[in-house]
């Protein structure tokens, strides 16, 4: 049985994020001294400049891949670890965080295409023993586009130091769902959007219920193996990253009372499970992103679910909803950019693409402020360098 640790809620950015910053960051605070036109035509030199000089206070390493019909570029900078200062491994694995949600959404949509899941059916009809009456009308689609109104699981801990001390605690997805659904709903399902992990935890359990198989094996069989993503895997409760990886560090209070960096590479992540448990590489995620946008992962009309924003307001901010099924959208440099970011302690990740695939971006930033209130500076500058300023 899977053993998630706890639900670690990061403070919201513009879109409201639970497991790392969303594709829409608060750009105004970090606006580079370039025009939108210049930023929209990002050259490799721009991207190189963003990661030059690592490690810095906000990040110890960065791995970047830009692709698409407009050209490609790959770069890495920083160190493998702060003890040896060896160069960062460009092929290293890392925690992908909420990028996992894209894989989960794609798996559910494949099952919908097979007639095994109905997006308009209620979650309770699939999990009657787990979803209580107060959430009887929540549909599968609402789980995936964050309009379900179910709050986050009530898990202990309020500071990074407390979460670090309990980083090996374990909880099952069922426990998380029971904790969340025992609380009053945040809003009537389908009327607002609130980005949280819990909808994807429930979606993962629905995958298991309809297939009689583990969620992890279904993603492996349907996506990882067909696409040849050999360096992408689910930890299945393991706290350590298997294979080569660049160490992740987090700024926090140390044992001597000072504030500094602590190595957080080993951290139980299964509390996120189907919402944020994946480990991957930039090469694998780039291949997955290109295949997804070309319609090779989710085929036919159901792919449009990933590019359809619900016409409801965001629950925390009142802004228009910015999350679809699995993805989010932001206009950058005059173009719609679709993608997903993720954050685990010590690691920030993103996949992004224009709808036509003309420019894709994948990065992993070993952020020392991962899951913070503001988007990591290096990650933010990479997004702007690749696509341009937001409208």
pLDDT digits (tens, 9 = 90+) for 46-88: 899 999 999 999 999 999 999 999 999 999 999 999 999 999 9
User: ∠ CA 161-163-166 to the nearest 5 degrees?
Assistant: 110
Scanning the structure block, which residue is given the tokens 């580079």? 32
The predicted pLDDT at position 314 comes to: 97
| CATH number of the domain residue 366 falls in | 3.40.710.10
Residue 306 inside a domain? The answer is: yes
Could you tell me the residue range of the domain that residue 160 belongs to? Answer: 27-387
CA-to-CA distance for 209 and 199, rounded, in angstroms?
Answer: 15
Residue 3 inside a domain? The answer is: no
Residue 17 inside a domain? The answer is: no
Residue 14 inside a domain? The answer is: no
The predicted pLDDT at position 21 comes to: 30
Residue 250 inside a domain? The answer is: yes
CA-to-CA distance for 79 and 17, rounded, in angstroms?
Answer: 28
Question: Residue 354, Cβ neighbours under 10 Å: how many?
Answer: 21
Contacts of 67 (CB under 8 A, 6+ apart): 286, 290, 359, 360
Any alpha helices (H) in the chain, and if so which ranges? 36-40, 44-51, 100-113, 123-126, 140-144, 160-165, 173-181, 198-211, 215-219, 225-227, 282-293, 377-387
Residue 15 inside a domain? The answer is: no
The predicted pLDDT at position 40 comes to: 40
pLDDT digits (tens, 9 = 90+) for 253-290: 999 999 999 999 999 977 899 999 999 999 999 999 99
Which residues in the chain land under pLDDT 50? 1-43
Give the burial class of 256: count Cβ atoms within 10 A of its Cβ; 0-12 exposed, 13-18 middle, 19 or more buried.
exposed
Scanning the structure block, which residue is given the tokens 């992740």? 248
The predicted pLDDT at position 23 comes to: 31
CA-to-CA distance for 188 and 186, rounded, in angstroms?
Answer: 7
The predicted pLDDT at position 14 comes to: 26
Predicted TM-score (pTM) of the model is 0.89
CA-to-CA distance for 129 and 179, rounded, in angstroms?
Answer: 14
The predicted pLDDT at position 44 comes to: 62
The predicted pLDDT at position 271 comes to: 85
Take residue 301 and report the two structure tokens written for it: 């009309």
The predicted pLDDT at position 18 comes to: 31
The total number of structural domains that make up the chain: 1
Residue 79 inside a domain? The answer is: yes
Q: Concatenate the DSSP letters of all residues of 233-286 into one string.
A: B--TT-SSPPS-BPPPEEEEE-TTS-EEEEE-SS---TTTGGGT--EE-HHHHH
pLDDT digits (tens, 9 = 90+) for 136-162: 999 999 999 999 999 999 887 889 999
Residue 327 inside a domain? The answer is: yes
Take residue 20 and report the two structure tokens written for it: 């790392």
The predicted pLDDT at position 356 comes to: 96
Q: At what angle do helices 173-181 and 198-211 cross, to 10 degrees?
A: 120
CA-to-CA distance for 224 and 250, rounded, in angstroms?
Answer: 30
């Amino acid at each position: 049985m899977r053993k998630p640790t706890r639900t670690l809620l990061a403070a919201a950015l513009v879109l409201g994020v639970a497991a790392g910053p969303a594709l829409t960051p608060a750009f105004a605070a970090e606006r580079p001294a370039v025009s939108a036109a210049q930023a929209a035509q990002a050259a490799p030199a721009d991207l190189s400049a963003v990661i030059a000089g690592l490690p810095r206070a906000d990040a110890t390493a960065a791995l970047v891949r830009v692709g698409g019909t407009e050209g490609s570029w790959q770069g890495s900078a920083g160190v493998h670890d702060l003890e040896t200062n060896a160069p960062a491994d460009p092929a290293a694995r890392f925690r992908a965080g909420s990028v996992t949600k894209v894989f989960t959404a794609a798996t559910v949509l494949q099952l919908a295409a097979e007639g095994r899941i109905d997006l308009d059916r209620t979650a309770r009809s699939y999990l009657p023993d787990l979803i209580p009456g107060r959430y009887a009308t929540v549909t599968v689609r609402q789980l995936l586009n964050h309009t379900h109104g179910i709050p986050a699981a009530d898990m202990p801990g309020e500071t990074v130091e407390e979460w670090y001390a309990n980083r090996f605690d374990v909880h099952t997805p069922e426990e998380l769902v029971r904790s969340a659904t025992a609380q009053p709903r945040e809003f009537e399902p389908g009327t607002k959007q609130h980005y949280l992990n819990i909808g994807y935890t429930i979606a993962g359990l629905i995958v298991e219920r309809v297939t009689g198989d583990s969620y992890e094996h279904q993603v492996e069989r349907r996506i990882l193996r067909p696409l040849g993503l050999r360096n992408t895997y689910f930890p299945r409760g393991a706290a350590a990253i298997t294979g080569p990886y660049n160490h992740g560090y987090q700024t926090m209070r140390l044992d001597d009372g000072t504030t500094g960096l602590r190595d957080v590479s080993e951290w139980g992540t299964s509390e996120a499970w189907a919402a944020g448990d994946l480990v991957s590489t930039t090469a694998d995620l780039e291949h997955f992103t290109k295949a997804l946008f070309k319609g090779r992962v989710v085929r036919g009309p159901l792919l449009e679910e990933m590019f359809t924003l619900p016409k409801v307001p965001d629950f925390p901010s009142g802004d228009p909803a910015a999350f679809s099924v699995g993805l989010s959208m932001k206009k950058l440099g005059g173009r719609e950019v679709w993608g997903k970011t993720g954050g685990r302690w010590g690691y920030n990740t993103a996949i992004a693409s224009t709808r036509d695939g003309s420019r894709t971006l994948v990065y992993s930033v070993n952020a020392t402020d991962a899951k913070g209130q503001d988007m990591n500076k290096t990650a933010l500058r990479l997004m702007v360098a690749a696509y341009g300023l937001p409208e």
